[in-house]
Amino acid sequence: MKIQTKIALSFTILTSGIILALSIFIYIFGSESVSNSFYHRLEVRADIVGHAALQTSKRTTSIYYDIKERHLGDLPFEQHRIIKSGEVEKAKRLREQMPMPPSFYDNIVRKEPARFFKNDTSYIGLNINQAGQSIIILSSAVDLYGLEEIDNLKKLLTVGFFISMFFVFTFGRLFSTQVFNPIRRIIRNVKGISAHNLHQRLDVGSSKDEIEDLSHTFNDMLNRLEITFDIQNNFVSNASHEFKTPLTVISGEAQLGLSLDNIPPAARASFETIYRETGRLEHLANSMLSLAQTGFDGKKEQWSRIRIDELVLSVKEAVDKIMPANQVTINFDHLPDDEAKLTINGNETLLTAALSNIVLNSCKYSDNKPVSIIISADKTHSVIEINDVGIGIPDREIAQIYVPFFRASNTERYKGYGIGLPLANNIIKKHEGAIVVNSQVGAGTSFKVLLPFVK
């Protein structure tokens, strides 16, 4: 879950907790106060009825009832039961009929408030003494209006709770989006920085907050990275450059040796080995140099129009020099009718290096079994397909073959450095092309190189 959503959710949960507690408090407090006021109204009526019952003269009794009728009126389902002192049987019967707990009756005896609520009905009990006489009055009524009010309050609080939750979550999300905008901007900028544009820096702004600190920290790190990259790039470029001249000299001397007549077979074999291994080393030095230049935005190369069939022929020549025993064949059967589809814009040296790395791999990882190169074109690209019947690449490792110095787990038997494909990939990408790999362990590998032709 994104931090932004987490913040919005935590915010909503926290606020919902508070609003829920507040709603429960309002509900309890509201219903208490409504029922207290109803008990009070019932007690006033019970008191009048009780006093009326204690009167000896009928006239006074009816005055009490008259006052009650005129000034108070009846409550819904109002009932009064009077127990005079000595009416033990009646008291027992009523006690059995009515649902009140023992504490209710204890309170009446102690002259404390005796109140009870069951099945929407409110019950009260009073102990009234007057002029030496005492009676107990049990009254009940239903607070129809109060119950409706409480029910309305409950509905209002529930609807209010859900509406406020909706707003809290919506505003919480908006708020967290706002807070995370600067971080998203940094992520976008950082994603745009790679080895090719290491000189780019993040916009620091002037907010004087943690985001500004973070941008500064990133920029400092990029400064250090750029310096390290430059040092590495210069070292690799210089070292491979320095290798080239002595290697050319050694290769020339070996060729000279091979051209001599009457040299013993052992010496000839030695010269051949020196010539082949020097070719290998030259290829490695060239690859390192090209990788340094293409990977780290080195000097600009010379671009020109290139015919890919000619390019493939020069690749074959380079491969023949390094692996004379190869069985590479070029298939021209699928050449497009329109020759324009064979012409691309690019740097010949770099493209030869890229393609010869792929073809050399095909020869190497198939122990010099036949390798076919098919030249064709689709609607927008010239296509060079290199197929071998070699060891293949394990499925889960295919994604890593362009990572510098990566070598698949099934290559222990073969010499290699893991720089050929990263270099080829860099070069093809520079030409706005693409490499598509299909491979099956034990069956073989197919590399399809697509390069946009000149329109």
Residue ranges binding ligand ADP (CB under 6 A): 357, 361-362, 365, 388, 390-393, 401, 406-408, 411, 416-422, 445
123 vs 365, beta carbon nearer ligand ADP: 365
Q: Tally DSSP H helices, then E strands, for the chain.
A: 10, 11
Among 403, 385, 389, 393, smallest CA distance to 449 is for: 385
* Min separation Cβ 347 and ligand ADP, Å: 20
* Min separation Cβ 305 and ligand ADP, Å: 28
143 vs 388, beta carbon nearer ligand ADP: 388
* Min separation Cβ 312 and ligand ADP, Å: 17
* Min separation Cβ 272 and ligand ADP, Å: 23
Q: In what order do the strands lie in the sheet with 114-118?
A: 79-84, 133-142, 121-130, 114-118
Maximum distance among all Cα pairs of the chain, rounded to whole angstroms? 161
* Min separation Cβ 355 and ligand ADP, Å: 12
* Min separation Cβ 336 and ligand ADP, Å: 26
Query: For 12-25, b where at least 16 C-beta lie within 10 A, e where not — what string?
Result: beebbeebeeebee
* Min separation Cβ 366 and ligand ADP, Å: 7
9 vs 398, beta carbon nearer ligand ADP: 398
408 vs 427, beta carbon nearer ligand ADP: 408
Among 390, 393, 386, 396, smallest CA distance to 418 is for: 393
